[in-house]
Each structure stands twice: as C-alpha cells, then as structure tokens.
Amino acid sequence: HWTDAEREAINTFWAKIDHEEVGHQALTRVLVVYPWTQRYFSTFGNLSNATAIAGNPKVRAHGKRVLDALGDAITHLDNVSATYAKLSQLHSEKLHVDPENFRLLGETLIIVLAGQFGAAFTPAIHATWQKFLAVVIAALSKQYH
C-alpha cells in the first residue's frame, strides 16, 4: 500500500537523518513534554529536569536505538507488522508501555524533523512520514491483548 513516490519520500528523507541526534532530541522532548513517560525509564538514572534528561547518556543511547529500529521498518516497508512482532510483544508483556505513548513519540519525532529540516520537510514529506509512523504505531500496538 505504498506508492513509488511514498517509498522515495521515506527513503530519501531517511538517508538524511542522523539517528543519534534526532533520536536523542525526540526522546528528550517526550520525557520533558510528557513527564509521566519517565516512569518507564527508572533504570536510566537522573531524569529530574530538562537539563538532566538532555545530558543523560542512557537517554541518548536509547534514542538512537529507537531510530535504528525505525530503520528496520523502513527496510521492511511491506512487512512492518511482522518485523515488529517481537518488539510489540516486548513493549506489551515485559515493558508494559501504554501504546498511547507510541503516538506521543511519533508526534514529537515529526516536530523534531520539522525543526531540523525546516522548509525541506515539505507538506508532501510530512504527509508520507505521518503515514509511515501510523503504520509503525499500529505494528507496535498489535501484540497488545
């Protein structure tokens, strides 16, 4: 269900994204803007304020890991549910992450991309990314019962 133009928009834009930097900014923002998300990261140490969150090396490493995982979805665009089946199960059964938080991270990621790329994040690219993230969120939410 992807057009050639959508595949092109996703892949071209993805190639420009610095996983560590964008992942770090997106996760940092989620933890600051939606502070209840901090409860899932109790092993990450000091998350007591925005400066501590931004300087926390575990937050940085985890942000990159999340972006790397988005890369798995991009290389399996026709197969995102299967690609994320184990990851969905992990978030549901082991981490107990409320899937509503996937949506918050997706929205925040869009804001970070818009801020970083400005006019280059065109309405068409924005629309395609919104669709891509909706597919990702649905796949990550799939193993919740």
Asked if 60 and 53 touch (Cβ cutoff 8 Å), the reply is no
Is 108:30 a contact under the CB 8 Å cutoff? Answer: yes
- Is 13:129 a contact under the CB 8 Å cutoff? yes
Q: Which stretch binds ligand ZNH (CB under 6 A): 1-9, 38-46, 49-57, 121-129?
A: 38-46
User: Does 134 interact with ligand ZNH (rule: CB under 6 A)?
Assistant: no
| Residue 89 structure tokens | 């199960």
Q: Which of 73, 30, 28 is nearest to 51 (CA)?
A: 28
- Cα(78)–Cα(94) distance, integer angstroms: 27
Tracing tokens 């990621």 back to the chain, one arrives at 109
For 90, the 3-state DSSP assignment is helix
Kindly tell me which of 37 and 92 has the beta carbon lying closer to ligand ZNH. 37
Pick from 10, 17, 80, 136 the residue near ligand ZNH by CB under 6 A. 136
Answer yes or no whether residue 129 interacts with ligand ZNH by CB under 6 A: no
> Which range touches ligand ZNH (CB under 6 A), out of 10-18, 47-55, 88-96, 120-128?
88-96
Question: Taking every pair of C-alpha atoms in the chain, what is the biggest distance, in angstroms?
Answer: 45
40 binds ligand ZNH (CB under 6 A): yes
Site for ligand ZNH in 43-82 (CB under 6 A): 43, 62, 65-66, 69-70
- Contact window for ligand ZNH (CB under 6 A) among 8-16, 47-55, 99-107, 110-118: 99-107
Instruction: Please give the residue ranges that form the binding site for ligand ZNH (CB under 6 A).
Output: 37, 40-41, 43, 62, 65-66, 69-70, 87, 90-91, 95, 97, 101-102, 105, 136, 140
